[in-house]
Structures are given as structure tokens and as C-alpha cells.
């Protein structure tokens, strides 16, 4: 399956279950300031087109795997890359590759670890960059790009083997971020591995917020995610959605 973006863009690797990859803040009405995973936002220098993809790495803990990942990154076509399961032990890392791409990583114990990578072309036009490493499961990056304010959050939700208490802790932290980051004035995008299947569209679903990109059966955690999205006025996207950016 192709990743989100123009035809022929790189493949994401977290195709274990049909789950949402992107959750975007839905503004009260469409405007020139809206942006989609692949779309445009109007800034002081015209339209901003972002190519956003996700990748589940399943460990870049060792020096060898980190080197391989950076080599892959340097040959990847992207603007922003959400990564999960880095398995990195450092709680906070910020680095730049030899090609000028910037990595912001949040790690710790266990098989978690998240991060946000920004391409050289995108990062050189960014300002007011603030990175927060909250836990091995959540990190955020805020910045300004061509006159627009962005808030991006990389998430790695607990798997089906983990308890519901861990899932609830994730939602509590995301709720706090939504309340404290003044999201209404930013273009917000949540990406990563949500470990929740929203399934096929149900008759009661709001197409604007839930979309028509799911497949299969909705599980319990998928229902929880849908309720959270509706509660906060967000939208669900993934690679199956054909976006109209005209």
C-alpha cells in the first residue's frame, strides 16, 4: 500500500491492522489555513504543501540500526515523518543527519519510543521550534512555517496485550495537550500507531470526522478512539483516503 502522498511516494511499514494513521484538528469551517496530510495551507508566502508519512521502525536502538535508518531517511521523499517503536533508551534526543534532516526522539524503557523527523527542505523554513518528549509513547513538535503555526504529536498507543488503564493514561495526556497548547490557533496533526481498528464506516458515523477510510471490523479500542475524535472535533485520515486539495 502506498503511503500518504502523491503517486509513487514511499511505503509505510505499519500495515499490521487497518488503523488510522493521522488525526487532524477540524476547524469550524474550511479556510486557507487548513492543511491535510497531503494538502496545502496558505501562509505569508503562498501555499504550503506537506507530505506526511508514518513508519513503525521496530527498533533503532543499536548503532547499526540507527545508521541504517538514517541512510534510509536521507533517500526518503517526505516533509514530516512520524516514527514509532524506536526502542531508544534516551528520554530525549535531538539530532541532525548529514543531509540536514532533523530528528526529535522521545524514548525510555521497553519496546516503545516515538519521534518526529523533519526534512531538510522543511526544517530550514521552520522557526520557533519547540520539542517536548513527554514519554516513550508521546512527543510533540510545535513550530511556525511560512507564517502558520503547527502542532504535531507522535503517538504509540498500547497494544491489545496491554491494559485499558494504559490506554486511558494516553488519552488523559492527549486531553491535557489539547487543553494547554492552544490548539485552536494551530494546524494540529497527530500521527503514529494508534493500535485501534475503526473498521468500515458505520451508519451512525460522521463522515466529516471519521471519514470513509476504514476497513474490517471496529474493535473496542477503535470505538474509544472514534469517541475521542468526536469529543475534540478532530478528523481521521489514513493512506486509503483520496484527498481533494483543490
At 28-60, the pLDDT tens digits run 333 333 333 443 333 334 556 788 888 999 999
Q: What is the mean pLDDT of residues 18-34?
A: 44
174 pLDDT above the threshold of 90 = yes
Q: Which residues contact 199 (CB under 8 A, 6 or more apart)?
A: 18, 214, 215, 216, 217, 218, 219, 222
- Report residue 226: phi and psi, to 5°: -60, -45
Question: Which residues are CB-neighbours of 143 under 8 A, at least 6 positions away?
Answer: 126, 127, 128, 129, 130, 149, 150
Q: State the pLDDT at residue 243.
A: 38
Residue range 152-162, pLDDT digits in tens: 999 999 999 99
What does the pLDDT average to over 108-123?
93
How far apart are the two ends of the chain, measured CA to CA in Å? 24
Q: What is the pLDDT of residues 75-109, one digit of tens each?
A: 888 899 999 999 999 999 999 999 999 999 999 98
In the predicted structure, residue 165 carries a pLDDT above the cut 70: yes
The DSSP element (H or E) to which 52 belongs, if any, is strand 46-56
150 pLDDT more than 50:
yes
Radius of gyration, alpha carbons of the chain: 17
Amino acid at each position: 500500500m502506498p503511503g500518504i502522498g502523491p503517486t509513487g511516494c514511499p511505503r509505510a511499514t505499519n500495515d499490521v491492522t487497518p488503523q488510522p494513521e493521522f488525526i487532524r484538528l477540524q476547524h469550524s469551517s474550511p479556510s486557507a489555513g487548513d492543511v491535510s496530510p497531503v494538502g496545502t495551507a496558505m501562509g505569508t508566502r503562498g501555499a504550503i504543501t506537506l507530505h506526511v508519512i508514518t513508519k513503525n521502525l521496530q527498533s533503532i536502538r543499536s548503532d547499526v540500526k540507527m545508521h541504517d535508518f538514517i541512510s534510509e531517511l536521507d533517500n526518503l521523499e517526505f516533509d514530516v515523518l512520524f516514527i514509532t517503536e524506536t526502542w531508544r533508551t534516551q528520554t530525549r534526543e535531538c539530532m541532525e543527519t548529514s543531509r540536514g534532516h532533523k530528528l526529535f526522539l522521545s524514548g525510555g524503557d521497553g519496546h516503545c519510543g516515538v519521534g518526529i523527523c523533519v526534512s531538510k527542505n522543511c526544517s530550514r523554513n521552520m522557526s520557533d521550534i519547540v520539542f517536548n518528549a513527554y514519554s516513550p509513547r508521546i512527543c510533540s513538535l510545535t513550530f511556525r512555517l511560512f507564517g502558520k503555526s503547527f502542532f504535531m504529536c507522535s503517538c504509540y498507543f498500547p497494544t491489545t496485550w496491554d491494559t485499558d488503564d494504559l490506554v486511558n493514561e494516553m488519552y488523559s495526556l492527549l486531553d491535557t495537550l489539547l487543553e494547554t497548547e492552544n490548539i485552536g490557533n494551530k494546524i494540529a496533526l497527530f500521527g503514529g500507531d494508534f493500535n485501534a481498528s475503526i473498521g468500515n464506516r458505520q451508519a451512525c458515523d460522521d463522515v466529516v470526522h471519521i471519514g470513509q477510510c476504514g476497513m474490517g471490523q471496529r474493535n473496542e479500542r477503535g470505538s474509544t478512539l472514534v469517541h475521542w475524535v468526536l469529543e475534540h472535533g478532530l478528523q481521521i485520515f489514513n493512506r486509503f483516503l483520496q484527498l481533494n486539495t483543490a
